C-alpha cells in the first residue's frame, strides 16, 4: 500500500504508471461510463473500484467477469472507458477481452501488478499496482493494492470533473492512514487464528455484505474456497430474504460484513434474521456486534475505504482455516497461478 501511495496521490499520478492513463482532461470529462473487467480476485477488486468511481467521481461504473464479457458479443461504446484488471497480467480471458475491445476501437486501461506483462503491453495506458510478487497461487496483497489504485483513479477523475476538493482531501488522508491500520489488523493474527480453528469444521459457509461490503463478501468466500476447499457462498445481505435464508441453520455459519456506516441498522437486522434461525455468526465490524457469536474488530477509516480494511482479516481467516485443515496453501489443488488458456 505504501508503494501505491508514495508520490502517487498528487497531480503526477496520471503520468507515472504503465505509461500513464493517456487520458487528457478533455477526454476524461468525456467519459460517460466505466466498465471494469477481470477474473476472480481481480474482478472483485474491480467491483469495489466501480463503487469508488461512482461515489467519488460520479461516473456510472460497473464490473463484469472478463470471462463472461468476451463470450457475449457486448456492445462496445465509444464513450465508455474500459479498465482491465489482472495481478499476473497474463490471464487469457482478460487479455482476449482487451484485444476484442481494441479491435472494436475502444480505449482500454490496465490495472496490473506484473510489469511488462501481456495485458500491460496491450492496454492503452493505466496503472501498475506495485504489490510485489504474489508468491502463492491466490492473490491477496494485490487485491488490497488494486483497490487503493482504484481509489486514486476515482479521485483523479473526480478532480478533473471538478468534484469536491474537500472530499478528495478526506479520502487522501484516509489512504495515508491505511498502512498503520493494516499493521494493527495484522497484529490481531493470533485471535483470527483461534476463530479460524472454531469454524474450520464447517462443511459450508455463507458470506454476506451490503453495497460496499458485498464485493468483500465475494472475495472472502473465494479465498476460503480456493485454499480450504470449504464450500462458501456470498450474497448481498439484502438478498438473504429472497431465498438463501432457507439455508440458515446451526451447521451453516455466516460471516457478516458489518461496517459502522449508514447501513449499520440494516445490517444488524440481517444478523437478527440469521439468529432467529439459530445460525452462527462471525461479524467483521468496527465494534463488537451483540447478535454475533464472534466479532473481528477492525480500525475505522473513511466509509469508502472500509472494503480494504475489512478484506484483510478475512484473507487471514481463510489462511488459518486452511492451515487448521492441513491444506497446502501455496499450491491449492486444481488452480493455476495464471490461467492462460
Closest to 332 measured CA to CA, from 67, 119, 40: 40
Distance, CA of 315 to CA of 107 (rounded, Å): 33
In the complex, which residues of this chain contact ligand F1P (CB under 6 A)?
Answer: 39-42, 86-88, 91, 94, 137-139, 335, 337-339
Q: Which is nearer to ligand F1P, 137 or 325 (CB)?
A: 137
| Cβ-proximal residue to ligand F1P, closest one | 40
The one catalytic residue in 177, 266, 275, 337 is: 337
Q: Which helix (H) or strand (E) holds 233?
A: strand 231-236
**Residues 6 or more apart whose Cβ sits within 8 Å of residue 192:** 296, 313, 316, 317, 320
Radius of gyration of the CA atoms of the chain, in A: 19
**Residues 6 or more apart whose Cβ sits within 8 Å of residue 121:** none
82 strand-pairing partners: 35, 108
Asked if 102 is an active-site residue, the reply is: no
The secondary structure of residue 88, as a DSSP letter, is: S
Q: Which is nearer to ligand F1P, 30 or 116 (CB)?
A: 116
Q: Which is nearer to ligand F1P, 45 or 257 (CB)?
A: 45
Q: Which is nearer to ligand F1P, 200 or 339 (CB)?
A: 339
Structure-block grid coordinates of residue 112: 496490473
Q: Kindly list the catalytic residues.
A: 337
Amino acid at each position: 500500500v505504501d508503494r501505491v501511495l508514495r508520490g502517487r496521490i498528487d497531480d503526477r499520478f496520471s503520468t507515472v504508471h504503465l505509461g500513464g492513463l493517456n487520458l487528457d482532461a478533455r477526454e476524461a470529462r468525456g467519459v460517460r461510463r466505466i466498465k471494469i473487467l477481470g477474473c476472480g480476485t481481480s474482478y472483485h477488486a474491480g467491483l469495489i473500484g466501480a463503487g469508488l468511481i461512482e461515489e467519488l467521481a460520479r461516473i456510472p461504473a460497473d464490473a463484469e467477469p472478463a470471462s463472461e464479457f468476451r463470450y457475449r458479443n457486448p456492445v462496445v461504446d465509444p464513450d465508455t472507458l474500459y479498465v482491465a484488471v489482472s495481478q499476473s497480467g497474463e490471464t487469457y480471458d482478460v487479455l482476449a477481452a482487451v484485444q476484442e475491445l481494441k479491435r472494436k476501437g475502444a480505449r482500454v486501461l490496465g490495472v496490473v501488478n506484473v510489469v511488462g506483462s501481456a495485458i500491460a503491453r496491450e492496454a492503452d495506458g493505466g496503472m501498475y499496482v506495485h504489490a510485489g510478487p504474489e508468491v502463492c497461487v491466490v492473490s491477496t496483497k494485490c487485491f488490497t493494492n488494486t483497490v487503493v489504485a482504484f481509489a486514486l483513479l476515482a479521485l483523479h477523475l473526480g478532480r478533473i470533473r471538478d468534484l469536491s476538493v474537500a472530499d478528495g482531501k478526506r479520502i487522501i488522508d484516509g489512504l495515508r492512514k491505511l498502512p498503520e491500520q493494516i499493521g494493527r489488523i495484522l497484529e490481531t493474527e493470533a485471535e483470527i487464528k483461534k476463530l479460524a480453528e472454531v469454524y474450520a469444521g464447517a462443511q459450508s459457509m455463507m458470506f454476506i455484505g451490503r453495497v460496499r461490503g458485498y464485493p468483500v463478501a465475494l472475495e472472502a468466500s473465494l479465498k476460503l474456497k480456493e485454499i480450504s476447499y470449504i464450500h462458501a457462498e456470498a450474497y448481498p445481505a439484502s438478498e438473504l430474504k429472497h431465498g438463501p435464508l432457507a439455508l440458515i441453520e446451526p451447521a451453516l455459519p455466516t460471516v457478516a460484513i458489518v461496517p459502522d456506516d449508514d447501513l449499520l441498522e440494516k445490517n444488524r437486522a440481517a444478523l437478527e434474521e440469521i439468529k432467529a434461525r439459530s445460525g452462527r455468526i462471525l461479524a467483521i465490524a468496527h465494534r463488537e456486534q451483540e447478535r454475533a457469536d464472534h466479532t473481528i474488530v477492525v480500525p475505522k477509516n473513511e466509509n469508502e475505504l472500509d472494503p480494504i480494511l475489512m478484506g484483510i482479516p478475512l484473507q487471514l481467516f481463510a489462511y488459518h482455516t486452511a492451515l487448521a485443515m492441513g491444506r497446502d496453501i501455496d499450491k491449492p489443488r486444481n488452480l493455476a497461478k495464471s490461467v492462460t488458456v
